[in-house]
Amino acid sequence: MADTAKMSIGEKTVELPILKGVDGPDVVDIRKLYAEADVFTYDPGFTSTASCESKITFIDGDAGILLHRGYPIDQLAEKSSFLEVCYLLLHGELPSAAEAEEFEKTITYHTMLHEQFDRFFQGFRRDAHPMAIMVGAVGALSAFYHDSTNVEDPQQRMISSHRLIAKMPTIAARAFKYFRGQPFVHPRNDLSYAENFLRMCFSVPAEDWVPNPVLTRAMDRIFILHADHEQNASTSTVRLAGSSGANPFACIAAGIACLWGPSHGGANEEALNMLKEIGTVDRIPEYVQGVKDRRYRLMGFGHRVYKNYDPRATVMQKTCHEVLAEVGNSDDPLLKVAIELERIALSDPYFIERKLYPNVDFYSGITLRALGFPPEMFTVLFAVARTVGWIAQWKEMIEDPLQKIGRPRQIYTGSPARDYTAISTR
């Protein structure tokens, strides 16, 4: 391909550089377009627009590939741990044994919340949705940890990154406990990240949570699968909020708000509801016909970027089987519905022609339910996992010398200029 693209606008021809990444489509650099040709580009939903350069995550949606710092997601999910993936996303390389130990110690050191923070939760209505609590509580971290909010200082950026990764499970577990009407459980630093989180969610004063390596591993793997996904809506929200110099706690709260929407983090709950609605395998053909008649969509299927099997869905399906077997629920009727629905959809021309494959949410609802979480917690768990992706992308943006405040333009379609008229004459 040529190294420049030519764009003709009326009499003018503008030459635009073509940038090449390590992989993925080439990118036409339109930064000078407005100055040279007095036009903007129009791209609602940013379907053809690269908003930044990034070294963190690569997705090839046609081939069904997801790489973090070059490592395939299936290898990370199989062989790594969530904290190791956190280090990888933040620092660019897998840690040495000493670095891994140091990182784990640092994260563990920050797991507690300031005692006054617990009183902050009491301000929410007793049945507040855990995501509503998350948006408020994470934003409030900037008030409690103001000493690490100077975004110009690399050391403070790193401390706030560690604080966010470490404190997010504690906040999420408290949101869950508050929603359930149960007392808070403090973190225990002798446990792993996932184990500590499960214990803070499921221990009660009358009965301690019993560790289970299969369930802990499943939780850790779910965290890995959701750790980052390049410039999705919530990550772009974090970058945009951060581009003004806002502090990282406020930026992550903005990301959580975006994630809450049903088109983004809320889809796994919808997928579970759909499986419940179908109920039994014999009702699948009728349900699939409804999808083809465009009365509703098959939730947990299709993706804006993946036009192939979502590589995270493969791991999630395996994890789902492991968890259900461990909790003695391999005969879960919803799992039977999911397997048969997937089989039918993958062999039906309607889905094949549109390249609709299961996404990560197809099996995650059943898995999280089997782990003991109610649907209200599904997006919260996603937020806990995605925090590292948000913070790594935020840090990369702050450290990028080309970074500017995000400021899109528009096509104005309102009234032309007109004179103000007095109310008596309107």
94 vs 372: CA distance, rounded Å: 32
Return the residue nearest ligand ACO (CB atom): 302
Give the DSSP per-residue string, 313-355.
HHHHHHHHHHHHHHTT-TT-HHHHHHHHHHHHHHHSHHHHHTT
Q: How far is CA 133 from CA 27, 174, 192, 198, 264, in A?
A: 40, 9, 25, 19, 18
Helices (H) and strands (E) in the chain, counts: 18, 6
Q: How far is the CB of 360 from ligand ACO (least distance, A)?
A: 5
What does the block give as tokens for 363?
């099996």
Exactly one of 88, 259, 298, 334 binds ligand ACO (CB under 6 A); that residue is 298
What does the block give as tokens for 318?
């395996």
Using CB under 6 A as the binding rule, whether residue 62 contacts ligand ACO is answered as: no
Q: How far is the CB of 38 from ligand ACO (least distance, A)?
A: 31
Nearer to ligand ACO by C-beta: 119 or 295? Answer: 295
User: Does the active-site annotation cover 153?
Assistant: no
Nearer to ligand ACO by C-beta: 326 or 348? Answer: 348
Q: How far is the CB of 196 from ligand ACO (least distance, A)?
A: 25
Using CB under 6 A as the binding rule, whether residue 368 contacts ligand ACO is answered as: no
168 vs 388: CA distance, rounded Å: 10
Exactly one of 64, 95, 300, 365 binds ligand ACO (CB under 6 A); that residue is 300
269, with CB counted inside 10 A (0-12, 13-18, 19+), is buried
Exactly one of 356, 368, 371, 391 binds ligand ACO (CB under 6 A); that residue is 356
Q: How far is the CB of 305 from ligand ACO (least distance, A)?
A: 8
User: Does the active-site annotation cover 303?
Assistant: yes
Q: Which of 303, 348, 400, 419 is catalytic?
A: 303
Exactly one of 174, 303, 386, 395 binds ligand ACO (CB under 6 A); that residue is 303
Phi, psi of 267 (to 5 degrees): -70, -30
357 vs 339: CA distance, rounded Å: 13
Tell me the window of 155-163, 243-251, 352-360, 389-397 that interacts with ligand ACO (CB under 6 A): 352-360
235 vs 138: CA distance, rounded Å: 16
Nearer to ligand ACO by C-beta: 222 or 398? Answer: 222
Using CB under 6 A as the binding rule, whether residue 283 contacts ligand ACO is answered as: no
Using CB under 6 A as the binding rule, whether residue 266 contacts ligand ACO is answered as: no
- How far the first Cα of the chain sits from its last, in Å, is 59
Output DSSP code: residue 36.
H
Q: How far is the CB of 345 from ligand ACO (least distance, A)?
A: 9
10, with CB counted inside 10 A (0-12, 13-18, 19+), is exposed
Give the DSSP per-residue string, 63-80.
TTEEEETTEEHHHHHHH-
- Compose the 173-202 pattern: x for residues touching ligand ACO by CB under 6 A, - for all others: ------------------------------
Mind telling me the catalytic residues? 303, 361
For ligand ACO, the binding residues (CB under 6 A) are 263-264, 267, 291, 297-304, 354, 356, 359-361
